[in-house]
Structure 1
Amino acid sequence: MERLYIKLRNLDAYPKINEDFFSRTLSGGVITLVSSICIMILFISEFRLFLHTVTDTKLVVDTSRGGKLHIDFDVTFPAFPCSLLSLDAVDISGERHLDIRHDIFKKRLDSHGNVIEVRKDGIGAPQIEKPLQRHGGRLEHNETYCGSCYGAETSDDECCNSCEEVREAYRKKGWGITNTDMIDQCKREGFVQKVQEEQGEGCSIHGSLEVNKVAGKFQFSPGKSFHIPGFHLFDFLNLPTENYNMSHKINKLMFGDSIPGIVNPLDGVQRVQETPNGMYQYFVKVVPTIYTTVRGHKIQSNQFSVTEHSKSSEVDNLRSLPGVFFYYDLSPIKVTFTEEHTPFLHFLTHICAIVGGIFTVAGIVDSFVYHGQKALRKKQEIGKLG
C-alpha cells in the first residue's frame, strides 16, 4: 500500500512549492484580477452560445419523385374588378386547371382599397328558378326546368341553368361568348350589368393551389379562359373597354409551409402599370428545402429565387394576353437545414481552453512584469552604491 502511495505521488504533474518561497506582488494581484474578469466574460459568452441553437446547412441531390406542390398566394389588383379576374394553372405534364375557384377567395375593393364584399367564387349570380325557355321552347306546367346551352350541349339531356353554366359549356367546347344579350340566362341575371357595375373597383384574391411537382405556370388574367389544341384563348364578355390595368401588389407568395428565418423574395412587391394591357411575368426557381428543428420536427417546404419581366401586351402589332404570370421550375438540388445544440463535451473543451489560455498568457505577462521590476530595482541599488 505504501509503495502504491509513493508511485501515485511520483506521478504528480503539479509539484507544490513551499509557501516560504512565494513572493506576492501588487502587479501580480492586478493581473490576476484582470484575467479572472476576462475568464468570466468569455465563460458567459460561451455559455450563451451553448444554450442557443446553431443551424447546419447541406446541399444534396433531390431524389424524391412525384408528389404535389402547395402554393399559397395573396395578390391585390387595385384597379381590376373581381368579376373579370380568373386564375388558371397549367403544367408540362399537360394538366390544366382553368378558372380555378376551389379554395379561392376574392375581396371587392373600392377606389380607396376598402373591402366592399368578400366572395368565394364568381360573381355569385343565383340560378334562374323560372326561365323563359327549355332548349328553345317554353316551360310547360309542372315541367322541370332545363336551360339551353345554346349549341354547346354534349348530350340531349344536358342543362345550363345559369349564365355561368352556359359559359362553362362554351369553354369546354373551346368557344367564346360574343354577345351575352343573346343568352337568356345571362340577360335575366344581369350578368354583364354586374360586371359593368364593378368597373373602377379593385380586387384582392387569396387562396391556395395544389399542383403537380413539375414545371408549370399559374396566371391571373382577365376573362374566362378556354382551350383549343394549339391555342389558349379568353372570353372577354364583349366588354366595351380593352384597357385592362394589371397593376398589382404581391402580399404573399409561398411554395409550401413557412420556414423560420426565410423571407420570400416576392412578398410586398408592387408593380404599377404604365402602358395599356400590361403583361407581368415572374420566372421562379423553386428549391426544395427540409428544415429540422432541434426537437426533431421536420418542415418540408421550398425556397425560391425569381427574375421578372414586364411589357406591353401590344408588341410588333401582335396582341398578347394581359395579366400576371408566374412560371415556376424545380431545382434538382435540395437544401437541408438542421437545428442543433453545441455538444456538451465541446462546451467543456472551450471552457478549458479559455481558462488555461488566459492563465498561461497572464503568467507570461506577470513573469515579464516581475523580472522587469526586479531588474529595475537592482539598477537603482547599484546607482545608489556608486
Structure 2
Amino acid sequence: MHNILTQKLRDLDAYPKINEDFYKRTFSGGVVTLVSTIIMFFLFFFELSSYLHTVTETTLVVDTSRGGTLHINFNVTFPEIPCTILSVDAEDISGERHFDIRHDIVKTRVDAHGRMIEAKKDGIGAPKIEKPLQKHGGRLEHNEEYCGSCYGAETSDDHCCNSCEEVREAYRKKGWALTNMDLIDQCEREGFFQKIHEEKGEGCNINGFLEVNKVVGTFHFIPGKTFHMTEFSFDDLFAVQKDNYNISHRIHRLAFGDYFPGAVNPLDGVPWLQETTSGSYQYFLKVVPTIYTDAKQRTIHSNQFSVTEHFKNSESGRYQTIPGVFFYYDLSPVKVNYTEKRMSFLHFMTNVCAIIGGTFTVAGIVDSFVYHGQKAMKKKVQKKFG
C-alpha cells in the first residue's frame, strides 16, 4: 500500500529530474544566469521597498458636512507698520463680525533691520495718574469713584468710558467717526499717540490663529482700528488711518487647519513689496476641505487652498480704498480624501514568486536561443569548411 502511494506521488512530480550525465554547462549559460540573478535581486528589493512604504490614494467626494468652524493659522510680518496701530478684523457672510481681535494673537515689534524687539499681547496699558478727567468735566477727587466721559457717545446716564478703547467702542456703536483722538483724556493717559511716535520706523510681526464659522468670509490686517463696517465693505476708519501706509508684507505661514503629510500652503514664505501709492492688497482663497487617513486609520481633518492676488490702488473721494491686506475665502463644495494604504503580505509574496519564476523563465528562453544559435552557427561553419 505504501509503495503504491509513493509511486502515485512520483507520477504527480511536475519537476522530473535529469541525470547529471546529460548536463552541459556553457559560458553563455553562465553569463545569462549571472545577469538574470542580478535582475532578480534588483526587482526583489524594489518590490520589498514598495511593501515597506505606503501609497496614498486620492478620492473626490461632495462635501455634505454642515456647520463647524475653520481654524486659520497665520504668521505675517509688516516691516513698515508699527504694532500699536496694526489690527486684525474678521467677518463672514452670516453677519458675525469681530473688530480688533486680540485673543490668541501675539504681536512682536520688529526694527528697521528685521530683528525682533519684544513680544507682547495686543493692547495698551493705562498708567495711573493722580487726577483723571471725570464724566462731568472735573478731575477725580479723593475717594471719588472714577467714571470717564464717553464724549457724547453715552448710551445712558450711568455709562462710563474708563479707557481709550471703551471710548472708541462707544463711538463705533453710535456709528460716529472719532477724530481728534489726541483730545481724548483716556487716550492721552494711556499714551496711545506716544506709543505710535516711539514705534515710528518699526515694523510688526503678528502671529496667532482665528476660529471662524465655516462659511464665506474675510479677515484682514489694517493700520488702525475699524470704526464702522457694512457687509464686506468699509465706510470709515479712525483718523489715524487717513495717511498713506506701506503695506509691504511677508507671509511666513498661512494655513486653514492642521498640517498633514504632503500638505502645501501656496502662500508660505511669500513676500510682497509695495512700490506704488497706498492701497489694499487682496488675496482670494478657495478653501478645499481635506481628510487625511494614515495606514493606522488615524484621521486628520484639515483644508487646502488655492489663491489669486490683486492690488487695488487708493482712490480719491469719500470712499477711498483702505490700506491693508485682505484675505477673502470661499469654500469648495468638493472634499478631498487622502488614504494611506500598504501592500498586503500575500500580495508581496505573490509578486516575489512572479519575479523569481518570471526571471528564470525568461532567462531560460534567452539561454536556449543563444545556445541553439551558437550550435547552428558551428554547424554552418563546419559544413562550409567541410
Q: Distance in 1 between matches of 2:130 and 2:355?
A: 85
Q: Give the C-alpha shift of residue 227 in structure 1.
A: 2.6
How many Å separate the matches in 1 of 2:293 and 2:337?
8
In the alignment, structure 1 residue 152 sits paired with structure 2 residue 153: yes
The total of aligned residue pairs comes to: 384
Q: 1:35 and 2:36 equivalent?
A: yes
The equivalent residue for 2:322 is 321
Post-superposition shift, 1:100? Answer: 0.5
Aligned partner of 1:33: which letter? L
Contact kept, 8 Å, 2:135 with 2:150, in 1: the verdict is no
- For residues 210-251 of structure 1, the C-alpha deviation after alignment (integer angstroms, 9 at most, x for no partner) is 000011000111211133656633433457x71111111111
* Aligned residue in 1 for 2:224: 223
Aligned to 2:137: 136
Q: Cα 1:76–1:58, aligned 2, differ >3 Å: closer, same or farther?
A: same
Structure 2 residue 278 is the aligned partner of structure 1 residue 277 = yes
Q: 2:237 aligns with which of 232, 235, 238?
A: 235
How far the C-alpha of 1:201 sits from its partner, in A, is: 1.4
Q: Cα deviations across residues 92-113 of structure 1 (Å, max 9, x unaligned)?
A: 0010011111111111111111
1:164 match = 165
What is the CA–CA distance in structure 1 between the aligned matches of 2:325 and 2:38, rounded to whole Å?
A: 61
- Per-residue deviation, 1:268: 0.9
Q: Which residue of 1 aligns with 2:21?
A: 20
User: For the Cα contact (< 8 Å) 2:90–2:97, is it kept in 1?
Assistant: yes
Which amino acid is 1:221 matched to?
Answer: I
Match of 1:346 in 2: 347
Sort the Cα spacing of 1:7 and 1:131 in 2 relative to 1 into closer, same or farther, 3 A.
same
Distance verdict in 2 for CA 1:5–1:20, change over 3 Å: same
Residues 127 and 306 of structure 1: is their aligned pair in 2 closer, same or farther, counting only changes over 3 Å? Answer: farther
Q: Displacement of 1:38 after TM fit?
A: 1.2
Change (3 A) 1:175 1:209: same
What is residue 332 of structure 2 aligned with on the other side? Answer: 331
CA contact (8 A) 1:81 1:199 kept: yes
Q: Does 1:46 align with 2:47?
A: yes
Q: CA deviation at 1:159?
A: 1.9
Is 2:71–2:210's contact at 8 Å kept on the other side of the alignment? Answer: yes
Structure 1 vs Structure 2 CA RMSD: 2.1
Cα distance in 1 for residues equivalent to 2:352 and 2:134 = 89
Residue-by-residue CA offset, 1:80-126 (whole Å, 9 max, x unaligned): 11111111101000100111111111111111112222221133344
Q: Deviations over 1:253-309 (max 9, x none)?
A: 000001212221001111111222121000000011111122222111001100011
1:48 is matched by which residue type in structure 2? S
Residue 248 of structure 1 aligns with which residue?
249
SS in 1 for 2:265: coil
The equivalences for 1:1-386 within 5 A come to 1=1, 2-126=3-127, 130-227=131-228, 232-238=234-240, 242-314=243-315, 319-384=320-385, 386=386
How big is the shift at 1:26? 1.9
CA distance in 2, matches of 1:127, 1:211: 37
Deviation per residue, 1:11-49 (Å, 9 max, x gap): 322222222222222211221121111111111121112
Residues 130 and 145, structure 1, Cα contact 8 Å, conserved in 2: no
Change in CA separation of 1:316 and 1:151 when aligned onto 2, cut-off 3 Å: closer
Q: Secondary structure at the match of 1:314?
A: coil
Moved more, 223-232 or 340-349: 223-232
Task: Summarize the Cα distance change of 1:208–1:229 in structure 2 as closer, same or farther, 3 Å threshold.
Answer: closer
Q: Contact 1:264–1:304 at 8 Å: present in 2 too?
A: yes
Distance across 2 between alignment mates of 1:232 and 1:381 = 101
* 2:143 alignment partner AA: N
Q: Distance in 2 between matches of 1:193 and 1:226?
A: 21
1:60–1:368 distance in 2 versus 1, CA, 3 Å: same
TM-score by length of 1: 0.93
Mind listing any 5+ residue stretches in structure 2 that lack a counterpart?
A: none
